[in-house]
């Protein structure tokens, strides 16, 4: 699925959550929908379901594979996240 196939991807970008449980401060939806390597945060439903129909938004803008990867795969956890960040830094260095 390419960007033009995501019809309502940016529709909620300006919405603001007063406190992201991960960052500890305010965050716009734009961050939430792409913070996971350009895919949504796995807590999207928990944080935004009271604001709008998250299920409809997700189904319109992400493939079945992306949905499974984000919402049906256990999160890495703190240590796993650290190693994941380190791996991405190393990959970025190799590309330079
Ligand atoms: S969806 Fe994720 S990034 Fe967005 S507010 Fe919730 S925890 Fe934070």
- Pick the atom of ligand 1 nearest to 41's CA: 2
Whole-model pTM: value is 0.76
Q: How far is the CA of 94 from the centre of ligand 1 (A)?
A: 30
Q: Residue with the nearest Cα to atom 5 of ligand 1?
A: 20
Is the C-beta atom of 34 inside 6 A of ligand 1? Answer: no
Blockwise average pLDDT, block size 10, the chain, 96 residues: 74 96 95 94 96 96 95 78 81 84
Indicate the helix (H) or strand (E) that contains 26: none
Q: Residue with the nearest Cα to atom 6 of ligand 1?
A: 47
Is the C-beta atom of 28 inside 6 A of ligand 1? Answer: no
Q: Residue 86: its pLDDT value, please?
A: 84
Instruction: Please report how many Cα atoms fall inside a 13 Å half-sphere around the Cα of residue 2, on the Cβ side.
Output: 1
């Amino acid at each position: 699925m390419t960007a033009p196939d995501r019809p309502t991807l940016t529709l909620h970008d300006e919405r603001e959550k007063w406190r992201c449980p991960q960052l500890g401060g305010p965050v716009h939806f734009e961050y939430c929908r792409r913070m996971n390597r350009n895919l949504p945060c796995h807590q999207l439903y928990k944080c935004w379901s009271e604001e709008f129909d998250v299920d409809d938004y997700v189904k319109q803008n992400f493939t079945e594979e992306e949905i499974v990867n984000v919402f049906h795969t256990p999160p890495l956890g703190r240590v796993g996240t650290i190693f994941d960040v380190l791996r991405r830094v190393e990959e970025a260095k190799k590309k330079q």
